[in-house]
Structure 1
């Protein structure tokens, strides 16, 4: 069997984290979640995910800054970051952050799985 792909989700909404964990574990992914993007480099380095979902509104260090830090990092910059927000300008925010894609909230389960498959293909 193929190695389980690892997804790291940053969101300060525990309901969203629980929902995503439930959906994605069910779909065969390994999940790690965090409610803060502080020390983003350390957090991501410790887990080495295959893909990252980044919420916009995070305490202290926001999603844009955290994504930029990752994208400026020598080895971590190759991990796809999907910007994840209920903002109606999520596409613009993803662009500002230098993210690889975006997913609007609320999302449906199929959209969530599709965007992962697209970026891990």
Structure 2
């Protein structure tokens, strides 16, 4: 495994979205980790230490807002950019409320995914 590969963690309970994201991001050289719930999120993220996190709004069990806020309260993890993504029409407000670094509305295309990841990575 390439040690210098960028790591991304995706939290989404939709297996179709996960498989599409994994396919796209692995093609671009990312090491992708996926979860269908956000249980033990601090432990999971501490272990992986990803470069960026994609967080679904409706992720079981706590939901994306609480999961994101939990990460942002952890001093060792708060610098990891979180991109909030959801089909919710209020995504910008949800992302701000969660304390996310960016957001991506579903459905999204490859260019949008690239742009949003690029935007938070340079911060």
Q: Which residue of 2 aligns with 1:8?
A: 9
For 2:114 and 2:28, the matched residues in 1 are separated by: 8
Gaps in structure 2 of 5+ consecutive residues: none
1:43 positional shift: 1.1
For 2:111 and 2:42, the matched residues in 1 are separated by: 29
Q: How does 1:70-109 map to 2 (within 5 A)?
A: 70-109=71-110
- SS of 2:103's equivalent in the other structure is strand
Q: Which residue of 1 aligns with 2:22?
A: 21
Q: Which residue of 2 aligns with 1:54?
A: 55
109-118 or 19-28, larger mean C-alpha shift: 109-118
For 2:91 and 2:119, the matched residues in 1 are separated by: 19
Question: Which stretches of structure 1, 4 residues or longer, exceed 6 Å deviation after superposition?
Answer: none
- Provide TM-score, normalisation by structure 2: 0.94
Gaps in structure 1 of 5+ consecutive residues: none
Question: Is 1:34 aligned to residue 44 of structure 2?
Answer: no
- Provide TM-score, normalisation by structure 1: 0.96
Structure 1 residues 2 and 38, CA gap change in structure 2 (3 angstroms)? closer
Q: Which residue of 1 aligns with 2:120?
A: 119
For 1:104 and 1:113, the matched residues in 2 are separated by: 13
1:35 positional shift: 0.4
Matched pairs, number? 121
- SS of 1:119's equivalent in the other structure is helix
For 1:60 and 1:7, the matched residues in 2 are separated by: 20
